[in-house]
Structure 1
Amino acid sequence: MAYWLFKTEPDEFSIDTLRVQGTSCWEGVRNYQARNMIRDEMKVGDHVLIYHSSCKTIGVAGVAIISKAAYVDHFQFDPESDYYDPKSTRDNPRWLMVDIEFVEKFNRVLTLSTLKAMAELNDMPLVKRGNRLSVMPVLPAQWQAIQHRVSR
């Protein structure tokens, strides 16, 4: 099993949205490095931290699991979609997505400032300057440190 962090803007999709839906596709990833992680590394059963960004309280809001492995993101073919990519074809699609399933909403958001203050997370891409990826791996020790901090 692997661990991941997915960034989302809660005005568009939040841990509460996922809780209501139960399961949702994680569409709209338009970065090749993130796409390659989805394609090559993510597996059913992997755990995901849902991270709220571009909002009042930025941080980790809950947990999901990957419930369906990588498949073609059909939004890339829809001209009405924000995720439309006119250079992508059905014969050679560029973008993939996974499905995620709700597991848990934390009692409180574990804020970015708290995450940055945790020595166990110093090597985590999220807390380093300039990291803009919406999907990133989380090491097992980092996952455990976050879980421990949330349970306090």
Structure 2
Amino acid sequence: MFLTRRQFSVDDFESVKTSPWEGVRNYEARNLMKEMQVGEKVAVFYHSNCKNPGIAAFAEVAKMSYPDYTAWDASHPYYDPKSDKDNPRWHMVDLSFTARAEHFIPLTLLRYIADTTVADDLPAEIKYIGEDGVKAIKSMDLVTRGRLSVQRVEANAWDTIQLLAKNGGWDGLNLKPAKKSKKTTAAKISSKAATKIKKKRQPAATAEEDDGGDSPLSSLESSGDEKHIGDSVAKTSKPRSTAPRKRKAPPENDTALNDPPRRSRRHKSD
């Protein structure tokens, strides 16, 4: 197993020799801890409370899982009011210190190895882990799913970690991931923008291509009657004027309109 503990250094662990691993408040981590057996040499002490986290020492299980009494201690930082003696929610194990890692294994090294495609791409200083070692590190929960206070470590990963702790060799290596240049990032952005514009324009170009060739409109445009057909359509489709019509002036020989107006024959009263 792989364990992490805050505010408890490898120096503290080495001085006390055996310590309960209290304070686990994650159900998955608790369940993994409950699976541990006495004498199980798969507990890795992961030193996380520092600027450069990594594997600092190794331990073994001294006592199997039992209720974590700090959960119902109101004065303890890991107090949980929903847990009590009759219904304990959290458990812990006792671990015994076995040895320090001869070479501290930083998390950056494990991630560096996990990002490597094949063992041949590794620097000569750490090629000794081989292809199996690279695959083992790649499969570790530590580099695939992030931090968890208790994690399972497979046998091949355990062997690779032991090999790294014994041989070292990475002190002079630059383990930081290479930063992408601004020019490369800008080129990728402009390339993506150009692709989007091209995709937007593509349907219009396709429509223009579909309108050509065998379409009825294209045959009309290529015929000799193009102008006549266009004129005919223009005349029949010309919109009617909405302006009021002007009356035409009457002809001069129209007697009905040229007669003087009739006078009334009624006599005006005196």
* Correspondences of 1:1-150 after superposition (within 5 Å): 4-9=1-6, 12-39=7-34, 41-47=35-41, 48-118=43-113, 119=134, 120-129=136-145, 131-150=146-165
Which residue number corresponds to residue 210 of structure 2?
A: none
CA distance in 1, matches of 2:39, 2:110: 24
Q: Could you report, residue by residue, the CA deviation over 1:78-103 in whole angstroms, capped at 9, with x for unpaired residues?
A: 00001111011211100000000010
SS in 1 for 2:46: strand
The equivalent of 2:229 in structure 1 is none
Residue-pair matches, total: 145
Does the residue aligned with 2:152 lie in a helix, a strand or coil?
A: strand
In the aligned structure 2, how far is the partner of 1:97 from the partner of 1:107?
Answer: 28
Give the alignment's TM-score, normalised by structure 1: 0.91
CA contact (8 A) 1:121 1:142 kept: yes
CA distance in 1, matches of 2:5, 2:80: 20
TM-score, length-scaled by structure 2: 0.52
The 2-side partners of 1:88 and 1:150 are apart by: 39
Unaligned segments of structure 1, at least 5 residues: none
3-state DSSP of counterpart to 1:138: coil
Identity %: 41
Name the structure where helix makes up a greater proportion of residues. 2
Structure-2 separation of matches of 1:106 and 1:38: 22
- In structure 2, runs of 5+ residues without a counterpart are 114-133, 168-270
What's the secondary structure of 2:56's corresponding residue? Answer: strand
Return the offset for 1:116: 1.7
Post-superposition Cα deviations, 1:31-57, rounded to whole Å, max 9, x if no partner, equal 011111112x11111121100114122
| Counterpart AA for 2:36 | M
| Segments of 4+ moved more than 2 angstroms | none
Using CA pairs under 8 Å that are at least 6 residues apart, name the structure with larger relative contact order, 1 or 2: 1
Contact 1:16 1:105 (C-alpha < 8 Å) held by counterparts: no
Contact 1:73 1:97 in 2 (8 A): yes
Structural RMSD (CA) = 1.2
Distance 1:23 1:89 in 2: 25
The question of whether the paired residues in 2 share the 8 Å contact of 1:57 and 1:109 is answered with no
Q: Deviations over 1:55-90 (max 9, x none)?
A: 122100010101000001100110000111101121
Structure whose CA Rg is larger? 2
Structure with bigger strand share is 1
What SS class does the counterpart of residue 88 from structure 2 fall into?
coil
1:45–1:65 Cα contact (<8 Å) kept:
yes
8 Å Cα contact 2:102-2:166 kept in structure 1:
no
